[in-house]
Structure 1
Amino acid sequence: MPNIKPISDLRNYNEVLRCIEEGSPVFLTKNGRGRYVVMDMQEYEKMQAKLKLLTELAKGEKAGRENGWLTIDELEASLGVTNG
């Protein structure tokens, strides 16, 4: 269940910080609508790394569709790897 609090709860920010755990961010509302998220720093860094990886994978897939795909033999040759 999401942890949702009004932004006014930040007056006692220690209480809000106690509610934050990895995998369990606190969602803050302003005027009854979702506005901000407070999350564990490690969780944020993991999320950023995943986003970067997915972005790079999407670029690779787009390049493959536009320029054609390499066979495994072509890939190994381009990397200087021999299968033996």
Structure 2
Amino acid sequence: MSNLKKITLTGAFWTLIGYGGSQVLRFGSNLLLTRLLFPEFFGLMGLVNVFIIGLALFSDVGIGVSIVQNKRGEEPAFANTA
């Protein structure tokens, strides 16, 4: 097996483990919250979470990626302006 293929498979494995682990933790925290909160509060918390995450995704305009890809990205004046 070539070195590049081995590195790729190792990276894919750890990515899947990380993603799966985060989903298991999220599911477990939701189960815990259903036991701790009244159903109305759990629903309200879910709606607020949807709006907060939606706002975060809507407001992400890619400034960080733009700084990384720009040839002036390491200049403090350019980075501070962004």
Structure that is richer in helix per residue: 2
**TM-score, length-scaled by structure 2:** 0.42
Higher gyration radius (CA): 1
More strand as a share of residues: 1
Normalization by structure 1: what TM-score? Answer: 0.41
Higher relative contact order (CA 8 A, sep 6+): 1
